[in-house]
Amino acid sequence: AQTVTQSQPEMSVQEAETVTLSCTYDTSESNYYLFWYKQPPSRQMILVIRQEAYKQQNATENRFSVNFQKAAKSFSLKISDSQLGDTAMYFCAFMKHADKLIFGTGTRLQVFP
Amino acid sequence: DSGVTQTPKHLITATGQRVTLRCSPRSGDLSVYWYQQSLDQGLQFLIQYYNGEERAKGNILERFSAQQFPDLHSELNLSSLELGDSALYFCASSVGTSGYLDTQYFGPGTRLTVL
């Protein structure tokens, strides 16, 4: 069975600084997808970024980028130029083809002015 | 706005009662997923439907059931409610095929409170 581990329950960063959230996963699959979702105080689940396991190039979306290390089964999220609006719970998630999402326990990120 | 709608936003009911949560997927999405988010269990997959057919089941209680209708909207029925069923229930939808497009987009959730 697949598992997703987020070892940082809480993190904080100052506005405009860079922060990295960690995620590791365990799977015997070779083809899969990894995601970061953001859950702000509104509780809405918002897709931040996604990575296909067969792609070696790390995904980027504006200020958000990932460091995907397939052999190490690591999938960290880097947020550059942090903004107050980035304050949220961040969930790492694993998915096989057209299958359910398996979530980590989340990292609560607080951005300070 | 993800394009996925859920109603109602909030639901307060008593133990032993039955409720129905409704979800409309994004236009063009055939797959609907239901997830439960509670404080002690985190985000847990309940059930998946694809084009009207049940595709996968997770940790869904026997008191819970779901269906997907011909217009692709889905309903999650929760019966004989217990205090522990209080949670945020999310619906997510995706195209339902493998590949780049198979990303799940979430609705705003239904907050269920059982008193």
Which residues in A lie closer than 8 A to residue B48 (C-beta atoms)? 99-100
In the chain, the amino acid numbered A95 is: M
Interchain CB contact of A36 with B (< 8 Å)? no
Interchain CB contact of A102 with B (< 8 Å)? yes
Model pLDDT, residue A78 = 98
Strand ranges (E), chain A: 3-5, 10-14, 19-21, 24-26, 33-39, 46-52, 60-61, 64-69, 74-79, 88-95, 101-103, 107-112
Q: Where are the alpha helices (DSSP H) in B1-115?
A: none
* Residues A50/A35, Cβ–Cβ less than 8 Å: yes
- Hey, are the CB atoms on A44 and B105 less than 8 Å from each other? no
Model pLDDT, residue B100 = 58
Residue A101 pLDDT grade (very low, low, confident, very high; cuts 50, 70, 90): very high
d(CA B9, CA A102): 24
Interchain CB contact of A11 with B (< 8 Å)? no
pLDDT of B47-88, one tens digit each? 999 999 999 999 899 999 999 999 999 999 999 999 999 999
Interchain CB contact of A97 with B (< 8 Å)? yes
Closest CA in chain B for residue A45: B106
If one compares A102 and B42, the residue with the highest pLDDT of the two is A102
Which residues in A lie closer than 8 A to residue B100 (C-beta atoms)? 52
- Hey, are the CB atoms on B33 and A101 less than 8 Å from each other? yes
Interchain CB contact of A44 with B (< 8 Å)? yes
A103 → closest Cβ in B42, B88, B100: B42
Q: Which residue has the tokens 């109602």?
A: B8
pLDDT exceeds 60 at position B99: no
How much of chain B exceeds pLDDT 90, in percent? 85
Mean pLDDT value across residues B4-23: 98
Q: Work out the mean pLDDT of chain A and round it to a whole number.
A: 95
- Hey, are the CB atoms on B106 and A33 less than 8 Å from each other? no
A100 → closest Cβ in B58, B105, B108: B58
Model pLDDT, residue A1 = 85
Interchain CB contact of A101 with B (< 8 Å)? yes
Interchain CB contact of A73 with B (< 8 Å)? no
